[in-house]
Chain A
Amino acid sequence: MADTAVGATTEPEHGADPSRRDFIYIATIAAAAGAGASLVWPFVDQMNPSADTLALASTEFDLTKVADGQQVTLKWRGKPLFVRNRTKAEIAAAVKDDTAALKDPQTDAERVKPGKAQWLVLIGSCTHLGCVPTFGGGDYGGWFCPCHGSHYDTSGRIRKGPAPKNLAVPEYAFLSDTKVKIG
């Protein structure tokens, strides 16, 4: 463009109406930004779980395989799942601690199905950084995470250590007295 200071009157105006040109600029930029933004989503969303991963999200399990006081670990959604047949003493210890100072307060009854207090179903992934806690260690007779020292009680509630939450109870339902559907 020519120097505007030289002859403001001699230079003929290119656009008859400069505001119309501004409108075209803004509209073009807006359209490009909109198209760009909508194109981002497919590239972000492709990272989310794919359809086949989501399809494998539920499983059925026969509880007769788990004896009294025993725990079975199965793989569900790529993570370990603990199905524990709790002893009377374990249940009693868990219920007694309902009133203790809990980091993530929950009663034992909220973590099991009504009338099925012996069955505790947990996602076996420490709520700190996802290691697999082992049963029988720690200060509360429940699970202990060896990686960073989180102690869980017999209800799988966090009692001590860096984990912020109780061991998660997945969505599950009793299909019969001996069969559960998880997920």
Chain B
Amino acid sequence: MSGHSTYEPKTGFERWLDARLPIVRLGYDSFVDYPTPRNLNYWWTFGGILSLCLASQLITGIILVMHYTPSADHAFASVEHIMRDVNYGWLIRYMHSNGASMFFIAVYIHMFRGLYYGSYKAPREVLWILGCVIYLLMMATAFMGYVLPWGQMSFHGAVVITNLFGALPIVGESITTWLWGGFAVDNATLNRFFSLHYLLPFMIAGVVILHIWALHVVGQNNPTGVEPKSKADTLPFTPYATVKDGFAMSVFLILFAFFVFYMPNALGHADNYIPANPLVTPSHIVPEWYFLPFYAILRAVPDKLMGVLAMFGAIGCLFALPWLDTSKVRSMRYRPTAQMYFVIFVVACIILGFCGAKLPDDQVIPHVTTFKFIDADLNSFVWLSRIATLYYFGFFLVILPILGLKETPLPVPDSIASPALSPAEKG
């Protein structure tokens, strides 16, 4: 994809700069002249939307820090100060808190897109793994950011998540004490979370640059999963992708604005407007919506250490995915059987998210008592999440490896352009 540059400096200044720092050339080659597959659909626009999200989070975050106080005694009050006293503080905070949700909506669509169209397959393994690293960093950043307002839910969420490390044999206890900087989640914990919440987004930005670099080396995947072969298969990035991404971003911003202006607290939890109290736990601790599937996996396993391992393993599967899928055909567009399993996988993820929001012992179908198995009624959310967890791991560890060898895919087109052009033109 990185052919020789066609950039020609037009003004004297551009020629002068180009000989010293060819940054305009880099931008031109990457975002103007860069060839993109001509058949990209709107699932491909979330990369651009994600850069918008990252920029928005960085800008609003840097501003919020100018008014926030990272101290166990003042954190909650300083957030209320932002909401009530700082000029437009409410807007900037709501943009930041809802922006995190928008970021995760976009990243999940981006990831499912990659799964469906086989964007993780050779030669894009490193590109995919860098994406997984970004996702992990995003999770860490979002978690630590959620703790900063020092409300009941964020405080006890931090207690629960940091206690996960206590599940490790032998070293667990010293590791949690080390993470806390004390005997419990307290001021020291808040301060280090604040420091890291400021640092990690810049690390994300760094890995994003590597992610885009890797993308520009191997080129974009596309809905057919066939690599571009001729000039007819591609279009220049500008104006085609630029305009398309611009339109998608506008639509996305409408959704974003809808949340910010009309239902800014819909995605948060009401308990986070109660100041943190270490002596009382909220009756039902739930993470933010984007972590619910993993929370459900954690709770599905009746053993503490195994639960923690399953939760981390769920993300670990993503890293191993390029080597778990054995299919020679990249896009599931030509894999009808895989399509079916993929749809069930998406449903399983949604079910897990749903279960994560419910109390484990609650009944799925009200007023029906079935028989007890292991430690709970079969008609309970803990059992529903167990089934969905089984499918989640089964999809990665059993279905994808075996299916790739057994299935009969549909015929894959010779090139991206060929299905669109008539046989005569194909020549």
Q: Contact check: which of B192, B278, B303 meets A47 at CB < 8 Å?
A: B192
Q: Given A50-B188, A163-B304, are A80 and B278 neighbors across the interface (CB < 8 Å)?
A: yes
* Residues on B with beta carbons closer than 8 Å to the beta carbon of A53: 181-183, 186, 188
* Residues on B with beta carbons closer than 8 Å to the beta carbon of A164: 167, 303-305
B183 and A77 contacting across the interface, CB-CB below 8 Å: yes
Q: Contact check: which of B159, B182, B192, B360 meets A130 at CB < 8 Å?
A: B159
Q: How far is the CB of A43 from chain B (nearest CB, A)?
A: 12
B375 at interface, CB cutoff 8 A: yes
Binary flags per residue of A149-161, CB closer than 8 Å to B gives 1, else 0: 1000000000011
Kindly report which residue of chain A lies nearest to residue B192, judged by CB atoms: A47
Q: Contact check: which of A49, A77, A128, A147 meets B284 at CB < 8 Å?
A: A147
Q: How many residues of A contact B (CB 8 A)?
A: 30
- Residues facing B in A74-94 (CB within 8 A) are 75, 77-80
* Residues on B with beta carbons closer than 8 Å to the beta carbon of A147: 160, 281, 284-285
Q: How many residues of B contact A (CB 8 A)?
A: 37
Q: Given A73-B279, A80-B279, A148-B299, are A48 and B375 neighbors across the interface (CB < 8 Å)?
A: no
Binary flags per residue of A133-177, CB closer than 8 Å to B gives 1, else 0: 000000000000111110000000000111110000000000000
A132 at interface, CB cutoff 8 A: yes
B285 and A131 contacting across the interface, CB-CB below 8 Å: yes
Q: Given A47-B178, A130-B160, A146-B281, are A162 and B304 neighbors across the interface (CB < 8 Å)?
A: yes
Kindly report which residue of chain B lies nearest to residue A146, judged by CB atoms: B283
A49 and B164 contacting across the interface, CB-CB below 8 Å: no
B91 at interface, CB cutoff 8 A: no
* Residues on B with beta carbons closer than 8 Å to the beta carbon of A162: 299, 302-304, 307
Most buried by B among A75, A128, A145: A128
* Residues on A with beta carbons closer than 8 Å to the beta carbon of B164: 129
B361 and A149 contacting across the interface, CB-CB below 8 Å: yes
Q: How far is the CB of A80 from chain B (nearest CB, A)?
A: 5
A57 at interface, CB cutoff 8 A: yes
B179 at interface, CB cutoff 8 A: yes
A57 to B305, CA, bound (A): 29
Task: Give the secondary structure class of A's interface.
Answer: loop
In the complex, number of A-B residue pairs with CB atoms less than 8 Å apart: 88
A39 to B351, CA, bound (A): 48
Kindly report which residue of chain A lies nearest to residue B285, judged by CB atoms: A147
B253 at interface, CB cutoff 8 A: no
Binary flags per residue of A48-63, CB closer than 8 Å to B gives 1, else 0: 1110010001000000
* Residues on A with beta carbons closer than 8 Å to the beta carbon of B159: 129-131
A50 to B181, CA, bound (A): 7
Q: How far is the CB of B238 from chain A (nearest CB, A)?
A: 46
A130 and B163 contacting across the interface, CB-CB below 8 Å: yes
A132 to B284, CA, bound (A): 11
B185 at interface, CB cutoff 8 A: yes
Q: Given A146-B284, A160-B375, A162-B303, are A49 and B360 neighbors across the interface (CB < 8 Å)?
A: no
Kindly report which residue of chain A lies nearest to residue B176, judged by CB atoms: A130
A49 to B183, CA, bound (A): 8
B177 at interface, CB cutoff 8 A: yes
A130 to B160, CA, bound (A): 6
Q: Contact check: which of A75, A78, A128, A146 meets B163 at CB < 8 Å?
A: A128
Q: How far is the CB of A164 from chain B (nearest CB, A)?
A: 5
B181 and A49 contacting across the interface, CB-CB below 8 Å: yes
A146 to B375, CA, bound (A): 16
Q: Which 6 pairs of residues, A with B, have the shortest CB-CB distance?
A: A78-B184, A77-B183, A130-B163, A132-B281, A131-B281, A129-B160
Instruction: List 20 contacting pairs A-B, 8 Å CB cutoff, sorted by A.
Output: A48-B181, A49-B188, A50-B181, A50-B182, A53-B182, A53-B188, A73-B279, A77-B184, A78-B182, A78-B184, A79-B183, A79-B184, A129-B160, A129-B304, A130-B159, A132-B280, A146-B281, A147-B160, A149-B361, A162-B299
Beyond the given A49-B181, A75-B278, could you list 19 further A-B residue pairs with CB under 8 A, ordered by the A residue number?
A47-B178, A47-B179, A47-B181, A50-B181, A50-B188, A53-B183, A57-B183, A78-B278, A80-B278, A129-B159, A129-B163, A129-B304, A130-B163, A131-B156, A131-B159, A132-B280, A146-B283, A147-B160, A164-B304
